[in-house]
Amino acid sequence: MLFDPQICELKDEKFAPFISVNEIETILCKSQNPSPEQIRSVIEVALSRRRLSMEQTALLLNARDEETRALIFDAARRLKREIYGERIVLFAPLYIGNRCINNCAYCGFRASNTDAIRRTLTDDEIVHEVQAMEAVGQKRSILVYGEHPAYDAEYIAHTVRLVYGTRHDADRINRVNINAAPFDVEGFRTVKEAGIGTYQIFQETYHPEVYKRFHPSGRKADYGWRLTAMDRAMEAGIDDVGLGVLLGLGDWRFEVLALVRHTNHLEACFGVGPHTISFPRIQRASNLDRAPLKLVSDEDFMLLVAVLRLAVPYTGLILTAREPRALRDRLIEFGVSQIDAGTQLEIGGYAERRGAQDLDKEQFELMDTRSLAQVVDELAERGQIPSFCTACYRKGRTGEHFMEFSTKGFIKRFCTPNALLTFAEYLEDYASEESRAKGYALIERKVAELDDPAIRSTVLDYLTRIRAGERDLLL
Ligand code: SAM
Ligand code: SF4
């Protein structure tokens, strides 16, 4: 059983606000000081692959001592290994423009920040950016925009098509996601028709009062319009949505429980939860006032990632290069399934940037500045398969994370083999000789671990053909 019947019976209505501060705070308050026994019994539910209720999630979030937290970390590690295997999907963001009418207090692009250097890429510049990304092996990208009348649904759809249509030799971006201000239902239909993968938008904070404080003006000041964005996206037929909160604004336990509440709302109203969840922590930005922030410590951050892994086990967890390398390495073990690599935040940065980060040209500071090649090498050294797979999207299998989780044997049959095959293509087309040798050593080990002889033999055959120059051989 995947969905808790209680969740399916939720009396939520589409397009209606569903967050009650009182409900979330009461649940958090009633779950103080959980005993190890309570934590163990919640973990048992999670490891049997069931969604956790808000009450169960709150018990995990309130684990404060080392012993109970260690139980949660172990369980998240186990769930990740058993369900998803040792592979990690790689992508890179592409900032299209930073004009913005809003005044989000934490963001370098806010309208009142007169030091921000404003720029929107021309079509030619977009093509150059994409070619520069393709030339190093990127296959998945998320396009990012400020909120501005110039970036309406038609314009965004146009940029998505432009990216899909851009080639560097035979290289191409196979999946284009977007992170853009919410549209009305019609607008969502427009961007869906352009073939977007995931529509991603972060609520930033689910607490209405905190929200008001950090979003004083502009379209984004309307909490309800943003809260119901995913309802409109799903109404328009986009069933691939990415939720998120910006950590450092409100109480992190409240925000994580609200993410679970949002997931319940989508499941109850549309029968499908989020494709991904993101949980960025606020980083340094141009003229950022840090005084009102409630920064989240590394220890709490690790716990909340592990709790999300257990609470919403079918959802992809995204951890961006906002976080330093060592922490990213640890969190991959606890359930993170997608990371960006080789990221440039400066607008035009893939084709043009030479030099240090300049916060007046970027939304915030990046902590992990490794190239895609370095990230790939280091993942492989640690036994993780870097995956560039976009097979589900290309073969029309939407909701890939959900299928991975819910379809028995799906990961062994599709995801692990496809991760290995796309990694081999990367090694052939973009890697140095040394990286190629190391990468193939990992592939050999992982192929030997495939327990279905028919799949193993298909993968071996495809690997030979990839070495001989064939591409796009996917299961
Ligand atoms: N303008 C659109 C919007 O606000 O929805 C697109 C998103 S914005 C370009 C991408 C995300 O970056 C925001 O939703 C926010 O969560 C995050 N962000 C903004 N300022 C940040 C900062 N100083 N540190 C880390 N993340 C930040
Ligand atoms: Fe604009 Fe988005 Fe930055 Fe807010 S977070 S100021 S909407 S770019």
pLDDT at 201 exceeding the cut of 80: yes
Which numbered atom of ligand 1 lies nearest the CA of 179?
A: 6
Query: What pLDDT is attached to residue 407?
Result: 61
The strand pairing partners of 199, in sequence order, are 178, 241
Q: Where are the domains of the chain?
A: 18-80, 86-392, 408-467
Pocket test for ligand 1, best of 179, 203, 230, 346 (most atoms within 8 A of CB): 179
What size, in residues, is the chain? 475
The region that residue 367 occupies, defined by phi over 0 for left and psi between -120 and 50 for alpha, beta otherwise, is: alpha
Query: Would the CB of 263 count as within 6 Å of ligand 1?
Result: no
Pocket test for ligand 2, best of 109, 113, 144, 287 (most atoms within 8 A of CB): 109
Distance 107 CA to ligand 1 centre (A): 6
Q: Who lines ligand 2 at CB under 6 A?
A: 100, 102, 104, 107, 109-110, 146-147, 220
What is the C-alpha to C-alpha distance for residues 367 and 401, in angstroms, rounded to an integer?
27
Query: Would the CB of 111 count as within 6 Å of ligand 1?
Result: no
Query: Would the CB of 242 count as within 6 Å of ligand 1?
Result: no
Helix and strand totals (H; E) in the chain: 22, 11
Mean pLDDT for 395-412 is: 65
Nearest Cα residue to 440 out of 413, 464, 411: 464
Kindly report, residue by residue over 239-260, the tens digit of the pLDDT: 899 999 999 999 999 999 999 9
Distance 408 CA to ligand 1 centre (A): 36
Kindly report, residue by residue over 268-318, the tens digit of the pLDDT: 999 889 999 999 999 988 898 888 899 999 999 999 999 999 999 989 999
Kindly report, residue by residue over 87-144, the tens digit of the pLDDT: 999 999 999 999 999 999 999 999 999 999 999 999 999 999 999 999 999 999 999 9
Residue of 8 and 226 predicted with greater confidence: 226
Q: Which two tokens stand for residue 380?
A: 């492989």
Task: Write down the CATH number for the domain with range 86-392.
Answer: 3.20.20.70
Query: Would the CB of 366 count as within 6 Å of ligand 1?
Result: no
**In which element (H, E) is residue 6 found?**
helix 5-8
Kindly report, residue by residue over 335-362, the tens digit of the pLDDT: 999 999 999 989 999 998 777 888 888 8
Pocket test for ligand 1, best of 102, 107, 198 (most atoms within 8 A of CB): 107
Ligand nearest to the CA of 296: 1
Query: Would the CB of 246 count as within 6 Å of ligand 1?
Result: yes
Kindly report, residue by residue over 163-190, the tens digit of the pLDDT: 999 999 989 999 999 999 999 999 999 9
pTM of the predicted model as reported, rounded to 2 decimal places:
0.95
pLDDT at 1 exceeding the cut of 60: no
3-state secondary structure of 200: strand
Distances, alpha carbon 225 to alpha carbons 21, 259, 400, 452, 464, in Å = 17, 17, 27, 49, 52
Query: What pLDDT is attached to residue 390?
Result: 87
pLDDT at 366 exceeding the cut of 70: yes
Question: Which protein residue's CA is at the shortest distance from atom 8 of ligand 2?
Answer: 146
Distance 435 CA to ligand 1 centre (A): 34
Angle at 263 between CA 262 and CA 267, to 5 degrees: 120
Encode 195-207: b = buried (16+ Cβ within 10 Å), e = exposed.
ebbbbbbbbbbbb
Distance 59 CA to ligand 1 centre (A): 29
